[in-house]
Amino acid sequence: MDFAILSREFAIQFSLVNQPEVTAEIVLQASVKELAGEILEVLGENLGSKLAVRFAKTVQNAANECLRIEQALNAIWETDIHLTQTLSFVHGQHASGYQNIIDMRFKSKINEKHMADIEELLAHVLESLEVLEEIL
């Protein structure tokens, strides 16, 4: 086995003021191949970081709420994303619902050329937080 995997990851997690029940996390990941290609200025490679946005919230009626979450996020983002919702609960504790981790992975990589898109990305994340807060 080879456990020597080098990569770089940046993550920031936040929530709306007075609404800590729903959180958002923006994650950028780059492999050592991506980092080396950028440093060495390799031409012809599709270099960049993988971008993911992860939301967390509690759901009561999983079937109904998960469908509504998927529809709402697809309407907001209107882009080529891969959306996964993972439900969990702690066995042995009184469950008042399921913890839903909503993972949105973008199929294309981002790099310095996309810096002008950061404002729009953040606006979409904030809108998503507001919409997710309303889904019961």
Whether residue 42 contacts residue 15, with contact meaning beta carbons closer than 8 Å, is answered with no
In whole angstroms, what is the distance from residue 22 CA to residue 26 CA?
14
Strands 81-88 and 50-59: unpaired
The average pLDDT across 55-84 equals: 93
Quick: pLDDT tens for 107-123: 888 888 888 999 999 99
Residue 77 DSSP label: H
> What separation, in Å, do the N-terminal and C-terminal C-alpha atoms of the chain show?
45
The average pLDDT across 87-92 equals: 86
pLDDT tier at 59 (50, 70, 90 boundaries)? very high
Quick: pLDDT tens for 2-32: 666 778 899 999 999 999 999 999 999 988 8
In whole angstroms, what is the distance from residue 127 CA to residue 121 CA?
10
Mention every residue, 6+ apart, whose C-beta is less than 8 A from residue 50: 28, 29, 30, 105, 106, 109
Instruction: Return the percentage of the chain with pLDDT > 90, whole number.
Output: 61
Asked if residue 129 has pLDDT above 90, the reply is yes
